[in-house]
Amino acid sequence: MVHVQLINWSVQLRRSGSRQAVRLSAGAVCVCPDFAAQVPEFDADMARLIASGAVKGCLPARTRERCWSRFRVPVKGGLIVRNILEGHTGRTCGLRVGGSIDARKNLFERLKVASQYILPKRGLTAFAGRVAEAERGKLTTRLIGWFAGKYAVDMSEAQNPDISSYNSFNAFFTRPLKAGARPITTADFACPVDGAISQLGTIDDHRILQAKGHFFTTTELLGGDAALAAKFRNGSFANLYLSPRDYHRLHMPCDGRLTEMIYVPGSLFSVNPATARGVPNLFARNERVICMFESPEHGTFAMVLVGATIVGSMATVWHGVVKPKPANQITRWTYADENITLEKGEEMGRFLLGSTIVMLFPQHSIAFSADWAPERLVRLGETMGERPRL
């Protein structure tokens, strides 16, 4: 039996002053068949699992009232999945889930992804940004020590391996590496980050593979600019995910001259592999910074920095932190009259917490290395590919 803890179940809505609130209904089942209708974007496969009765359970009346008195919260779509703890047996409820281990893992993954539609992602991110910037002495050192231990961060590669010397979490998170820690390949294209390959390959006309069954278009990714997207028709792409333990500075895959930078506002879903499998158009719906370059050898290429939940901000070496005002509209900067040129392996930007970078290349400009495949771990400076010899 697998136990999980959920705070809100089958619910009915009521008005509490000027806000919408949740009331647990009498005899409520833990997860009800009309869940998908209450959260419209919820995955259809998950809805079928729930409708089939694979998830069962109910709350005692006393527990329902206790939950209501403690968790009066605004909701969207009539339901909140507050917390999911695999392997936890709590007083709130024991929830029995049928099916194989793989089916149960799939169920929990989908519930976790579904909760992101409702969580206050921007508020959480703003709070995390304030915490990361704070200089709190011993408290900051304890936070860094906890994080380094939890995610097995290898500090031996850092230019400064002493965690007590960092005055803020951001300073630790964007720490530079030792000289020579990441030698840069002599191949035409170098991997720009430490991370893992989410997906890569050929752009199908204008479609990019996000995960099995999920695609987004170059036009959507590039903020609706069809003319810019046309440069990458039938080209190549690579989506690289940076986990919390990785080095978070971004470097150039090849020599390039900066021509334009575009900020596209959006949501802040997590960009981890589970969310990439569960949220359609993830990289084209999240906040992002598009950096356009021209290479004398390889033509136009794009590096798209994708924001995420808890990612405080994104920064580039030529602009600093990218936070335009107003922040709810597309903002463009052009650099045609400036000579901002970066060499292969040179730093171009950084994330202030883990995220994803999407790279776009024109047709016939890159042949990815044979050993590059989805889920493979990659390191900054290793060979990413060569220019095809036509």
Q: Which are the catalytic amino acids?
A: 194, 251, 355
CA pair distance 330, 284, nearest whole angstrom:
13
Token representation of residue 259: 């021509």
C-alpha angle 77-272-362 in degrees, rounded to nearest 5: 110
What phi-psi label fits residue 243: left (phi over 0), alpha (psi between -120 and 50 degrees) or beta? beta
Instruction: Name residue 360's beta-bridge partners.
Output: 237, 302
Tell me the CA end-to-end span of the chain in Å, nearest whole number. Answer: 58
**Dihedral Cα 349, 352, 354, 355, nearest 10 deg:** -50
Cα separation, 231 vs 171, whole angstroms: 37
On the CB side of 251, how many CA atoms lie within 13 Å of its CA? 26
130: CB partners within 8 A, 6+ apart: none
Packing angle, helices 44-51 and 101-115, rounded to 10: 120
Q: SS3 of 99, please? A: coil
Beta bridge partners of 299: 295
CA distance 380 to 390: 28
What distance in Å separates the CA atoms of residue 307 and residue 327, rounded to the nearest whole number?
13
